[in-house]
Amino acid sequence: MQARMTNLSTIAPDAYKALLNLEGYLRHSPVPNHLLELVRLRVSQINGCGFCTDMHAHDAKKAGETDERLWTVATWRESPYFTDEERAALALAEAATRLADDPGGVPDDVWDEAADNFDEESLTALVMCIAAINAWNRINVTTRQIAGSMRT
């Protein structure tokens, strides 16, 4: 496999910087980094982004995630390793990523569960994280960025 483009950040530096600024906001949000990484990982799995799945599995591990949680994030509903708060965030991430699967968008019960587990500032950060990783996934899948290439 070969990347279709490797120089997006130099061709569109302002656009790239805008996404990095959003990531900066998320780093300073009240949502714990390990949870943001789980959300990024799950969304990347759904979108089939090998580049982002690889990156965020490694980043989650650095943030303290255990192997069991990383191995089972794709099956979090059937796994005993996740808290109610994490389940609410993952459900919101899945629903917001799979908008075409539900004509009503994000179901009220999914939103309500997230709102019950997160204050407004944290919920806003989760929504922004989901939007950002979906954007990154679409860029990286479209341009066929190679899994692991950030580490080499």
CATH number (domain holding residue 103): 1.20.1290.10
**Residue 18 within any structural domain of the chain:** no
Q: What is the mean pLDDT of each run of 10 residues along the chain (152 residues)?
A: 82 92 97 97 97 95 96 97 98 97 95 98 98 96 83 68
> Which pLDDT score, from 0 to 100, does residue 152 have?
64
> Which pLDDT score, from 0 to 100, does residue 28 have?
97
> Which pLDDT score, from 0 to 100, does residue 145 have?
83
**Residue 8 within any structural domain of the chain:** no
What pTM did the predictor assign? 0.94
Q: Which domain holds residue 74?
A: 32-142
Residue 119, token pair as written in the block: 């204050």
**Residue 16 within any structural domain of the chain:** no
Tally the domains of the chain: 1
CA dihedral (65, 18, 135, 73) in degrees, to 10, reads 10
